[in-house]
Each structure stands twice: as C-alpha cells, then as structure tokens.
C-alpha cells in the first residue's frame, strides 16, 4: 500500500517530462541559451523533490 502511494506521487512529475523534453529540444534548435532551458529542467527536478 505504501509503495503504491509513493508511485502515485510521481504521476504528475512523469506527465510533465514529455513537455519539458519537447520544450528543451525546441529551445535548443532555436539556439536559446542553455541557462534559459536549464531553468525548465531545474523546475522539473524541484517539482519532483516537492512531490516526494
């Protein structure tokens, strides 16, 4: 039961991963500085830590 509850906490984080990946690819192709799309990755990691 407890293990299933922990897995459920990761669902919102996992749902955000594809959009972050697509956003990073688009910004990379458009030559956006790494610091800008690094913020998106940092926010994803921060949201993952908060959701634990």
13 half-sphere exposure, CB direction, 13 A CA radius: 17
pLDDT for the residue 30:
93
Kindly state the average pLDDT of the residues 28-33.
90
pLDDT at 51 exceeding the cut of 70? no
Residue range 22-45: mean pLDDT, rounded: 86
How many independent structural domains does the chain possess?
A: 1
Q: What domain range is 16 assigned to?
A: 2-51
CA–CA distances in Å: residue 17 to residues 2, 13, 14: 24, 7, 5
pLDDT band at residue 24 under the 50/70/90 scheme: confident
């Amino acid at each position: 039961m407890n293990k299933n509850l922990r897995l459920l906490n990761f669902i919102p984080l996992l749902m955000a991963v594809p959009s972050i990946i697509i956003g990073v690819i688009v910004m990379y192709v458009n030559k956006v500085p790494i610091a800008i799309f690094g913020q998106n990755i940092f926010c994803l990691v921060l949201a993952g830590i908060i959701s634990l």
